[in-house]
Chains A and B, each alone.
Chain A
Amino acid sequence: MAGKDKKIKVPRATMPEQAPEVRRRNFMEVPLGLTDEMAMTEAARCLQCKKPACVEGCPVSVDIPGFIQKIADGDFSGAIERLWDKNALPAVCGRVCPQEIQCEGNCILGKKGSSVAIGYLERFAADKARELGTGALPKVAEKTGKKVAVIGSGPSGLTVAGDLVVKGHDVTIFEAFHQTGGVLVYGIPEFRLPKDIVAAEVATLEKLGVKIELNSVVGSTVTIDELFEEGFDAAYVGVGAGLPRFMNLPGENLIGVFSANEYLTRANLMKAYLFPEYDTPIARGKNVVVLGAGNVAMDAARTAMRLGADSVKVVYRRSREEMPARAEELHHAEQEGIEFVLLTNPTQFFGNDEGRLTGMECLKMELGEPDESGRRRPVAIEGSEYRIDCDLVVVSVGAKANPLLTNSTPDIDLNRWGNIVADPATGKTSKKAVWAGGDIATGMATVILAMGAGRDAANSIHDYLTIGW
């Protein structure tokens, strides 16, 4: 392709960011976004491959070269229209997708130099459309008269709702909380995903005709069977992995030990970082330890730093190589002064006579033989116990399926971990007219995988409503 070598030589755009020493004490977004000029220069780097490998790497098959070409041409509303064709939440995905292992990981330019910054460009196009109010919404097909209940308003539920409303179905989202967005609002912090962006993406869906019923805990307030009795023709279950795991260590119920779910929900959904303007309080630790090393752990650690901690340690039983968080999250955390204490495992928590946390005991580990996950198993070094003083611990070692909904629907089959068994290709469950996807089916994964599952289920639901089960 002509000019290929030249394009490789143009350096990849660098995202302007708030300086680490400033942002570590505020909740404003860390990356500031590309300027028009930066975006157009970056977009011009795209080789416009005839068989774009990037699209193959995208769980929702966004026309990546297509929207990038529009940006290169300066047609920003054309760019967002291309994105909306396949993705209802581009402003979210541009920020939180692990592009390095998906679209960008497949980019041909990346083989010899650096890949096109697809995530930055997606974010740019979405932000531009939101700022300027441009971009025509997808055309809604003629009404089918079929009613679909979407349970949960996280990334997979929003995708299903967006896809099906465009196909002409009457879609209602049932959300347990008082705000729409699921993990996008309760889990991911403001500094990584500003909440007005989620609200804007949801408002787009509402403009397309999606109805939202807040404060509705399906399973408690109403059951799926009752929704069918009320006239719904199909239901999609995207309720996430809502039950926090604890480590079952002595002292874990001391005041000052929190699940990441609680800590982040207080901070994000309830806006406790603005206490006392907002009523919900949050523990502001001076010496904070986060247990676990995934994206959620990084979110918790960086939140603790912003809430005024003197020191924040991420304690992880394996080594740096195995830390499951995205490279960018690890890098941002380190830049902000978060310390990684690796090959270390907690054994117990200590408290004072008021039941408040004062410290924890840890064991040093070394890596042994690979385990079933293929990663080298951490093995405790005998006699290596030592104490870390801390007044706040956030346990971030994953979450499991919440049985609240599934207890009320005994005819939906579960696997041995309590996750819903859903056909990986269609999302169909064992119960007629019920689909499931996202973390409730797969266990904890990413926003975009949940969206991909939502896309597959939406296609299957559409087939059901127009053809049959």
Chain B
Amino acid sequence: MFKIVNREEMAQGTIILNEIEAPRIARKAKPGQFVILQSNEKGERIPLTMADVDPDKGTITIIYMVVGKSTASFGKMAVGEEYFAVIGPLGKATHIEKRGKVVCVGGGTGIAVLHPITRGLKEAGNHVTTILGSRNKDLLILEDKMSKASDTLHICTDDGSKGHHGFVTDVLKDVLEKEDISLVVAIGPVPMMKFVSAITKEKGVETLVSLNPIMVDGTGMCGGCRVSVGGETKFACVDGPEFDGHKVDYDELSNRLRAYLDDEKKSVDDSEKNA
């Protein structure tokens, strides 16, 4: 069960792709949904939104950045090795329909999550403008796939090594000025989603964001993933992971993502000491 059938390294080895055998999940999964993975019995349960699904082959694809002990243990697994647990598909699927002109904004590994949604929006007959951001050109992922899934693609890098020198929000403002956009989908680091939402809110353009808070079970049982949306508490795992970007309390989300910062450091230190 849950055997890795394909593994790729991206962004100079900092981002890893795993294609995993999970036939029951692959048969059901839709863009926007996530899985929870555990590499071994002692491992933590990590939620990741699926980057791709192949129902015929019975596989799902996840793309993650190696940031802590758990993702490091995922990253060390070779083709042929098995995840201890994969559950899903969890969360609500993205509501994909023809809206006209839409903009997809992605940053970091959020681009991986954005890809199936972008593809779906294009297939549904929308005109898709995509804006991708990264620190530099080497850290940018899935450029070719995103290009195929979009009518227009803009790249932004913080250091100017590729495309626009600056943030995705610069290009987004420009696009919103020139075109009549009916929907923006933004997936990436919390500050990116926050600033994109601030701009689109001002312009009154509906915006969807996909959140990735800390979770344990992913099925609504623990409430660890609670986020404030429009002043109401929602569980990202069952009410989301996508929400109205104009209503999310991003500052609270940022804080809550830091809940175990000290423990994560301790966990990494401990595993390095043992290794």
- The reply on B256 being an interface residue by CB < 8 A is yes
Q: Is the CB of B43 within 8 A of A220?
A: no
Please tell me which one of the listed residues B1, B88, B266, B267 contacts residue A217 in the complex, with CB atoms under 8 A apart.
B88
Q: What 0/1 pattern do residues 71 to 102 of B give for CB contact below 8 A with A?
A: 00100000000001111111000000000000
Q: How far is the CB of A120 from chain B (nearest CB, A)?
A: 33
For the complex of A and B, the 10 pairs showing the least CB-CB separation, nearest first, are: A355-B255, A281-B263, A262-B222, A178-B85, A276-B270, A279-B44, A259-B223, A242-B221, A255-B259, A281-B260
Cα distance, A404 to B218, chains bound together (Å): 11
Does chain B have a CB within 8 A of A469? no
A255 and B219 in contact, given A221-B87, A271-B42, A275-B267 (Cβ under 8 angstroms): no
Q: Give 1 or 0 for each of B215-259: 1 = CB within 8 Å of chain A CB.
A: 011011111101110000100001000000000000110011011
User: Is A265 part of the binding interface, using a Cβ–Cβ cutoff of 8 Å?
Assistant: yes
Query: Which one, A215, A244, A253, A276, contacts B86 given CB within 8 A?
Result: A215
Instruction: Tell me the smallest distance from the CB of B271 to a CB of chain A, in Å.
Output: 7
User: Does A176 have its Cβ within 8 Å of any Cβ on chain B?
Assistant: yes
A262 and chain B: residue at smallest CB distance? B222
B38 within 8 A of A: yes
CB <8 Å contact, A262 and B223: yes
Q: Does A214 interact with chain B (Cβ within 8 Å)?
A: yes
The answer to whether A243 has its CB under 8 Å from any CB of chain B is yes
The yes or no answer to A277 lying at the interface (CB within 8 A) is yes
Pair count A-B, CB < 8 A: 117
B217 touches A176 (CB 8 A): yes
Point out residues on B near A: beta carbons under 8 Å. 1, 24-25, 28, 38, 41-45, 69-70, 73, 84-90, 216-217, 219-224, 226-228, 233, 238, 251-252, 255-256, 258-260, 263-264, 266-267, 270-271
Tell me whether A281 and B216 are in contact (CB under 8 A).
no
Asked whether A221 lies within 8 Å of B263 as measured between CB atoms, the reply is no
A-B contact list, 27 entries, CB within 8 Å: A178-B85, A178-B87, A217-B88, A220-B88, A220-B89, A242-B219, A242-B221, A244-B223, A253-B226, A253-B252, A253-B256, A255-B259, A258-B224, A259-B223, A261-B223, A262-B216, A262-B223, A265-B217, A270-B45, A271-B42, A276-B270, A276-B271, A279-B69, A279-B267, A281-B267, A356-B255, A404-B238
Quick check: A280 and B256 within 8 Å, CB to CB?
A: no
Q: Does A246 contact B (CB under 8 A)?
A: yes
Most buried by A among B24, B73, B222: B222
The contact of B216 among A215, A216, A266, A271, by CB within 8 Å, is: A266
Closest to A213 in B: B24
Q: Which residues of A contact B270 (CB under 8 A)?
A: 276
Complex CA gap A253/B256 in Å reads 8
Q: How far apart are the CA atoms of A258 and B226 in the complex, in Å?
A: 10
Expressed in whole angstroms, the Cα–Cα distance for A113 and B267 within the complex equals: 54
Determine whether A10 belongs to the interface, using a CB cutoff of 8 Å to chain B: no
Closest beta carbon of chain A to B152's beta carbon, Å:
35
Instruction: Say if the beta carbon of A248 comes within 8 Å of chain B.
Output: yes
**Contact of A222 with B44 in the complex, beta carbons under 8 Å:** no
| Complex CA–CA separation, A404 to B88 (angstroms) | 12
Knowing that A261-B223, A354-B255 are A-B contacts, what are 18 other residue pairs whose CB atoms are under 8 Å apart, sorted by A's residue number?
A178-B84, A214-B85, A220-B219, A221-B25, A243-B220, A244-B221, A244-B223, A248-B233, A258-B224, A262-B216, A262-B222, A262-B224, A275-B263, A279-B42, A279-B69, A279-B70, A354-B258, A403-B238
A281 touches B264 (CB 8 A): yes
Counting chain A CB atoms within 10 Å of each CB, the highest count among B24, B86, B221, B255 belongs to B221
Q: Is A252 an interface residue, CB under 8 A from the partner?
A: yes
B254 nearest in chain A by CB position: A355
Residues A253 and B219 in contact in the complex (CB < 8 Å), given A275-B267, A404-B238: no
Residues of B within 8 A of A276 (CB): 263, 266-267, 270-271
Check: A278 CB closer than 8 A to any chain B CB: yes
The residue that A246 contacts in the complex, of B38, B86, B223, B271, with Cβ under 8 A, is B223
Contacts of A243 in B (CB 8 A): 220-221
The answer, among B28, B256, B260, for a CB contact under 8 Å with A221, is B28
Interface pair A216/B24, CB less than 8 Å apart: yes
Pick from A222, A259, A283, A402: contact of B219, CB below 8 A: A402
Q: Are A222 and B24 also in contact (CB < 8 A) when A262-B216, A265-B217, A354-B258 are?
A: yes
Per DSSP, chain A at the interface is loop
Q: Please tell me if the beta carbons of A217 and B221 are within 8 angstroms of each other in the complex.
A: no
Query: Any chain B CB within 8 A of the CB of A228?
Result: no
Per-residue contact bits, chain A 181-222, to B (CB 8 Å; 1 contact, 0 not): 000000000000000000000000000000000111100111
A27 at the interface (CB under 8 A from B): no
- A176: chain B residues within 8 A (beta carbon): 87, 217, 219
Interface centre among A243, A281, A404 (most CB of B within 10 A): A281
Whether a CB of chain B sits under 8 angstroms from the CB of A232 is: no
Per-residue CB proximity of A277-299 to B under 8 Å, as 1/0? 11111010000000000000000
| C-alpha spacing A258/B222, complex, angstroms | 8
Task: Across the interface, name the chain A residue whose C-beta is closest to B232.
Answer: A248
B271 contacts A270, C-beta separation under 8 Å: no
> Bound complex: CA of A278 vs CA of B84, how far in Å?
14
Interface residues in A349-381 (C-beta closer than 8 Å to B): 354-356
Chain A residues in 8 Å Cβ range of B38? 178
Residues of B within 8 A of A178 (CB): 38, 41, 84-85, 87
| B-side contacts of A244, CB under 8 Å | 221-223
Q: Considering the chains assembled together, what is the distance between the CA atoms of A265 and B44 in angstroms?
A: 12
A 329-351 binary contact with B (CB < 8 Å = 1; else 0):
00000000000000000000000
In angstroms, Cα B226 to Cα A77, docked, is 50
- Give Cα A214 to B41, complex, Å: 13
Hey, which chain A residues are within 8 Å of B84, CB to CB? Answer: 178
Min C-beta distance of B267 to chain A, whole Å: 5
Residues of B close to A262: CB separation below 8 A: 216, 222-224
* A residues in contact with B28, CB < 8 Å: 220-222
Assembled-state Cα–Cα distance A176/B45 (Å): 13
Chain B residues within an 8 Å CB radius of A253: 226-228, 233, 252, 256
Residues of B within 8 A of A279 (CB): 42-44, 69-70, 73, 267
A398-424, CB under 8 A of B: which get 1 and which 0?
000011100000000000000000000
A265 touches B216 (CB 8 A): yes
Nearest CB to that of B218 among chain A residues? A217
Identify which of A265, A277, A283 contacts B221 (C-beta below 8 A): A265
Return chain B residues, CB-CB under 8 Å to A214. Answer: 85
Contacts of A271 in B (CB 8 A): 42
**Minimum CB–CB distance for A252 against chain B, Å:** 7
Please give the distance in Å from B227's CB to the nearest CB on chain A: 8
Q: Is the CB of A255 within 8 A of B255?
A: yes
Distance, CA A344 to CA B24, complexed state (A): 49
